[in-house]
Structure formats: C-alpha cells, structure tokens
Copies of this chain bind each other. A is one copy, B any other.
Amino acid sequence: MNTATARHRELLEQLRRLVGPANVLTEGDLSAWELDWRRRERGKALAVVRPASTQEVAEVVKACAAARVAMVPQGGNTGMVVGSTPDASGSWVVLSLTRMNKVRHLDAGNLTITVDAGCVLQSLQEECERAGFLFPLSLASEGSCTIGGNLGTNAGGTQVVRYGNTRELCLGLEVVTAQGDVWNGLTGLRKDNTGYDLRHLFIGSEGTLGVITGAVMKLYPLPKAQLTAYAAVPSLEAAVQLLGLAHEFLSAGLTGFEVMGQFALSLVVKHFPQQRVPFWQESPWCVVLENSDNESETHARAQFERLLEAAMEAGCVTDAVVAESVAQARALWHIRESIPLAQAQEGLNIKHDISINVSRIPAFVAETNALLLAKFPGARLVTYGHLGDGNLHYNVQAPEGEDQARFLNEEEAPMNALVYAVVDRYNGSISAEHGIGSLKADKLEHHKSPVALGLMRAIKQALDPHHLMNPGRVLRD
C-alpha cells in the first residue's frame, strides 16, 4: 500500500466518522455523481460524501484539506461545462450537497427566503408560490438543479431580462472556505457597505474558492397576470427595435423576450409536427414575449395591444398573437423550449452560449454567419436565445447528409475558434450563462485579458493556496 493510498484510506475512515458510513459512497454505480449532465466526461471519485449540515461540510473540508485531497462541490449535477464532476484520477472527493435541502426561513416582510444550498430549484419555486410569492429564477433543469449550483454557476434562464441572473437574486451567503471555516454572510440586507463584497466573489466561482452551503434569496409578490405574445419580425434589427419598445411600453412588466430563427423553428415543425408554430414560414425571425402584470389580466392585455400596435406601426412586427389562455401561452413557450430537443433529434451539433451587447447582435450575426458559411459551406445555423439579455445560443448543425460524428469531431474546434474570434471583436462573452468548468478553461486563457486572468489567479491563490477546491476548473492549474 503506497502513501497516497494509506492517506486516502485514513481520510475515508475519518469522513465516515464525520457524516456516517452510509453517506460516504465509494462502491457501486456512482454515475449520478461522476458523469456530467451532457455525458461528455466520466470522472472517478475517491468518494462521494454527503454531509447533512453546514457544520458537517466544514468538518469534511477540514479533513480533506488536511489530507491535501481535492474536492468538487456538487448540487444537482446539471451543469453544462463539466464543472461539478470529479476528474478521472480517483483522488477527488465529491461533496454532494443534496442532503442539505431545507428551507430555513421565509421572511414575508423582508421579501426573502433563507435556504440550504441543496434545495432543488423547482421545490423552492413551489414553496414560495404556496406562500404567495414569486421566486423568479427559472431554467430548463429546474426539476433537478439546486440553488447552490445555481449560485455557484450564476445561472441565468428565461426571466433575466427582468430579474437578473442568480447573482442579482441573492442577498446573503453562507460559505465554507477552502480552510473549512464557516463564513456566515446570511443577511437579508438590501444595503450593506461594510467591506469587500465576498458574496459576489463566491457566486459564479464554480466551487473553486469555497463551498456555498446556504443563501438568502429575494422574493417578489406574485404577479396577478402573466401573458404571452408571439410575433413575427422581419429582421434581427426589427427584433432589437421591438425589444426597445417593449422596455418602453411594459417597463418591468417585460419578463421574457426570446428570439428564434426560421431554421430553428423549422426543426421544431419537422420533429414535433403536432406543434402549431405560427408565422414560421413567412418570417425569418419570431419572438416570444412575456408580460407579467401586478394589476389584472385585462390590464396586461391592453398593455400588450398598445405595444404590438406601436410595433406594427413602426414596422418591426409583421404579425402577432397574444395567448388567450394559459394553455395557449404554454404552447407558445413550448415552441421555444422545444428547439434544443428538435436540434438533438436532427443530430449532433456545435453549441455556442454567447452574449453580445443587444444593439450589436444583428451585426454580429450577419458577420459571423457570412464568415462561417464561407468556411463551412452548407452548415445550418440554429440561432435562438434570450435576446432580452443579449444572450444567443448560436448553434450549428452539420450540413444535410454529412457524417455528423465527423463534423463534430473535426469541425468543433475550428468553428469555436471562428465564432469566439468574432465574439472577442464585439467585446462579447464566450460563456453567457453556462460558465467555464473544465470544458472552456483552455478557451478562457485565450479570450480573457491577461490582466483579468492575473487578478483571478491572485484571488484563487489567496483563498485556496493549495488548489484543492475544484482544481483546474475555471482557471487551469
């Protein structure tokens, strides 16, 4: 038995004492923790450890730190960039937070909820709704992802145009540091200027600086009505103009603004023929808008009508429908939500989760399309996304009839390079909402400025000097 093995065995013993043997998993099928959500990489953990409290997390971190064993914090393991699974070495501990899934306190007067990191997002939404409040974070994986994971990755979703990313919804944090100390920053204060903002440093750091164990999140009154409209727009420029009008007419009522390109919609029609997709044949782009109203459905409808009339007059909308029922609204949103699935049905594809200043998106798309099609003739562009936030899913499907595996294998790297080079020229982001993980850590080194990388490295070194917290993720070691 070599020293590493002896050290590991001793640590496992200690961990079993700390959290109970049933919560230190080392055998059997650990795919749920070791395989990433998109099934791109399978890791191998020394153990999956499932603490039940902040104190247990702190003790586990202390033990791992003393043994110089790396840790990867994990929530629902629904990340898109291979950031919450262990590497293949078999020497990391997966720190699964899912047993910490209690709502600690809902403070109606303060419009806040204090939660364990392991709370599943959807349960949280439901619990808030039962109490008469809206917790507005909403994303595709909400049935599995946890609020701790949302915070660790600063998750986005469909209502960012109104409520911001997870970061903007968080007022306080509880974090176990890389040394195993507990930082209790669980305040629900809307104003607190007492030193550096540690909260925002941990949010979005993808488990590389510490372990988020709890949070205080903002609540909003439940809207009285939520209406969905669907509009055909003659160009991306027109979509941006419509967005401006929507901000003006709906103000904070605008809670969703999604754009979908014609080819993306054609894939929905092709693979889900039972869905009724309005206007897709006549229009190069369609938009889904959501208006949340604190007054009444009648008021929301009148607001939508005023907006759409003004937009038609301005020429930026050619046709539009407003859903007449909740079922119709769901059906319209379902079109948007079906695009990723339709894409998957169509075959393998190359994904880009990018953001650009909203005003420059039309120019960006025109320029990138032209460069891309010149270099990859026949490539099919699946462009859609959260236009309200400047966030596009700029995805590319193999040319019709082409060997898809070959396409993905051979063209992904050069196509990424082409797209990201234009993103750089437009001062955009190569990861709008999915984060860096290990999937994009190499790319980050090329697309982030050396000064920014230097500052990030200095912070990592200061807070996690032994590089034990999710090492090599975000920043390459």
Residues of A bordering B, CB below 8 Å: 107-112, 153-154, 156, 160-161, 164-165, 167-168, 177, 181-198, 200-201, 203-205, 209, 220-221, 223, 240, 243-244, 247-253, 294-295, 303, 355-360, 386, 389-391, 427-436, 440, 444, 447-449, 451-456, 458-463, 474-475
Q: Which of B109, B223, B357, B460 contacts A244 (CB 8 A)?
A: B109
Contact check, A189 vs B429: say whether CB atoms are below 8 A apart.
Answer: yes
Docked pose: A475 CA to B196 CA in angstroms: 10
Contact check, B389 vs A191: say whether CB atoms are below 8 A apart.
Answer: yes
Q: Which of B110, B356, B454 contacts A390 (CB 8 A)?
A: B110
Q: Which of B165, B167, B195 contacts A452 (CB 8 A)?
A: B195
Contact check, A196 vs B459: say whether CB atoms are below 8 A apart.
Answer: yes
Docked pose: A177 CA to B191 CA in angstroms: 26
Residues of B within 8 A of A198 (CB): 452, 455-456
Contact check, A389 vs B463: say whether CB atoms are below 8 A apart.
Answer: no
Docked pose: A154 CA to B199 CA in angstroms: 14
Q: Which of B192, B243, B432 contacts A355 (CB 8 A)?
A: B192
Q: Which residue of B lies closest to A166 (CB)?
A: B193
Copies of the chain in the assembly = 2
Residues of B within 8 A of A181 (CB): 451, 454
Instruction: Say how far A175's CB is from chain B's closest CB, in angstroms.
Output: 9
Instruction: Say how far A354's CB is from chain B's closest CB, in angstroms.
Output: 9
Residues of B within 8 A of A154 (CB): 193, 197
Instruction: Say how far A427's CB is from chain B's closest CB, in angstroms.
Output: 6
Docked pose: A391 CA to B455 CA in angstroms: 33
User: 28 A-B Cβ contacts within 8 A?
Assistant: A107-B359, A112-B357, A185-B452, A186-B427, A188-B357, A189-B390, A190-B390, A190-B391, A191-B389, A193-B429, A193-B433, A193-B436, A194-B429, A195-B448, A196-B205, A196-B459, A197-B200, A197-B201, A220-B251, A221-B251, A250-B294, A251-B252, A251-B294, A252-B252, A252-B253, A252-B294, A459-B459, A459-B463
Contact check, A194 vs B247: say whether CB atoms are below 8 A apart.
Answer: no
Residues of B within 8 A of A112 (CB): 357
Residues of B within 8 A of A186 (CB): 427
Q: Which residue of B lies closest to A157 (CB)?
A: B191
Docked pose: A183 CA to B448 CA in angstroms: 10
Contact check, A444 vs B197: say whether CB atoms are below 8 A apart.
Answer: no
Residues of B within 8 A of A182 (CB): 451
The residue among A191, A253, A440, A448 with the most chain B CB atoms within 10 A of its own CB is A191
Contact check, A455 vs B451: say whether CB atoms are below 8 A apart.
Answer: no
Instruction: Say how far A185's CB is from chain B's closest CB, in angstroms.
Output: 7
Residues of B within 8 A of A449 (CB): 183-184
Q: Which residue of B lies closest to A474 (CB)?
A: B195
Q: Which of B295, B390, B444, B462 contacts A191 (CB 8 A)?
A: B390
Residues of B within 8 A of A448 (CB): 194-195
Docked pose: A251 CA to B177 CA in angstroms: 37
Residues of B within 8 A of A192 (CB): 355, 429, 431-432
- With contacts A112-B357, A248-B294, A452-B198 taken as known, whether A193 is within 8 angstroms of B462 at the C-beta atoms is no
Docked pose: A124 CA to B220 CA in angstroms: 30
Residues of B within 8 A of A191 (CB): 156, 160, 165, 355, 386, 389-391, 429, 432-433
Instruction: Say how far A180's CB is from chain B's closest CB, in angstroms.
Output: 11
Contact check, A247 vs B111: say whether CB atoms are below 8 A apart.
Answer: yes
Instruction: Say how far A114's CB is from chain B's closest CB, in angstroms.
Output: 10
Docked pose: A153 CA to B196 CA in angstroms: 10
Q: Which residue of B lies closest to A461 (CB)?
A: B462
Docked pose: A391 CA to B460 CA in angstroms: 34
Seed contacts A187-B427, A191-B432, A193-B429; 10 additional CB < 8 Å A-B pairs: A153-B193, A154-B197, A160-B191, A168-B168, A188-B357, A189-B390, A195-B204, A196-B456, A458-B463, A459-B462
Residues of B within 8 A of A440 (CB): 194
- With contacts A358-B110, A462-B459 taken as known, whether A447 is within 8 angstroms of B251 at the C-beta atoms is no
Q: Which of B189, B356, B461 contacts A432 (CB 8 A)?
A: B189
Q: Which residue of B lies closest to A358 (CB)?
A: B110
Residues of B within 8 A of A454 (CB): 181
